[in-house]
């Protein structure tokens, strides 16, 4: 057993020595909470598993992630399901990040004293090399959301989120309606960040809870985060786009 763990840790070190992982998730442990921030890349599944093996994780707090590698995110999500932990979204949790968030047995938003918006952003898969929509991966993503949302799965809303995009900046943006301003509480889908308000679909009678995205309506209050994880120091264009879409008026 010791030899297996030693080999596993060597493999993790090897993966993180590769230049392509310069923007991997940043991890920070606080007791049985694990904070994960940034872009999801190959090897992050091993880092998360190693963190859990060293000390079991009760809550995975996803902080300001623009998403990343779809295959890696699905691996992480399917592994997390078996742990039956709580996942928390603090700030924008976009694209592939939303798959990891959906793996939580319990799921909820977080906020701090500054009142920064927390949102889940869902859209279809694009090939990072070609920039083209991935027809093969789209039904896999849709099936996973359906699996986790259960009886609350809305085929019209989720089908639009996955398939009705004109470019990768198109999103279904679902805000934390417990802390969002009244005008910004409704989930909305825009086919592109450049779409006009008339091109966006606003779901006035839907919410993160009614869509099966969160399991707890209340937003958890978090204290200030360490500088290495502080989302104000980790801001990325995708997250800024998500916030803009979330706040756009119908």
Locate the domains of the chain by residue range. 24-247
Q: What percent of the chain has pLDDT over 70?
A: 80
Residue 180 has pLDDT above 80, yes or no: yes
Residue 107 has pLDDT above 70, yes or no: yes
Residue 229 has pLDDT above 50, yes or no: yes
Region 75-81: mean pLDDT is 97
What local confidence, expressed as pLDDT, does residue 181 receive?
83
Provide the CATH topology of domain 24-247: 2-enoyl-CoA Hydratase; Chain A, domain 1 (3.90.226)
What are the start-end ranges of the H helices in the chain? Answer: 2-16, 44-54, 70-83, 96-102, 138-149, 155-163, 237-247
Region 150-160: mean pLDDT is 97
What local confidence, expressed as pLDDT, does residue 234 receive?
47
Q: Which residue has the higher pLDDT, 181 or 67?
A: 67
What local confidence, expressed as pLDDT, does residue 130 receive?
87
* Residue indicated by tokens 């976009």: 94
Instruction: Kindly report the average pLDDT of the chain as a whole number.
Output: 84
Work out the pLDDT band at 16, boundaries 50, 70, 90.
very low
Region 82-97: mean pLDDT is 96
Confirm if 193 and 244 have CB atoms less than 8 A apart: yes
Q: What percent of the chain has pLDDT over 90?
A: 70
């Amino acid at each position: 057993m010791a030899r297996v763990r030693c080999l596993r840790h060597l493999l993790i070190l090897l993966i993180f020595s590769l230049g392509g992982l310069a923007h991997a998730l940043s991890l920070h442990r606080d007791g049985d909470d694990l904070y994960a921030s940034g872009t999801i890349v190959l090897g992050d599944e091993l880092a998360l598993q190693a963190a859990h093996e060293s000390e079991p994780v009760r809550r995975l707090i996803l902080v300001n992630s623009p998403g990343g590698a779809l295959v890696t995110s699905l691996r992480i999500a399917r592994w997390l399901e078996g742990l039956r932990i709580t996942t928390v979204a603090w700030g924008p949790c976009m694209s592939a990040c939303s798959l990891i968030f959906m793996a939580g047995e319990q799921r909820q938003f977080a906020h701090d004293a500054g009142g920064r918006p927390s949102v889940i952003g869902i859209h279809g898969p694009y090939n990072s090399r070609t920039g083209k929509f991935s027809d093969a991966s789209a039904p896999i993503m849709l099936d996973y959301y359906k699996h986790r949302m259960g009886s609350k799965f809305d085929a019209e809303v989720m089908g639009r989120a996955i398939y009705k995009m004109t470019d990768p900046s198109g999103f279904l943006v679902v805000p934390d309606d417990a802390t969002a301003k009244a005008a910004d509480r409704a989930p909305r889908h825009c086919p592109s960040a450049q779409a006009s308000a008339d091109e966006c679909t606003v779901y006035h009678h839907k919410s993160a809870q009614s869509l099966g995205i969160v399991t707890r309506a209340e937003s958890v209050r978090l204290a200030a985060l360490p500088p290495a994880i502080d989302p104000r120091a980790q801001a990325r264009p995708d997250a800024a786009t998500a916030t803009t879409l979330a706040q756009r008026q119908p």
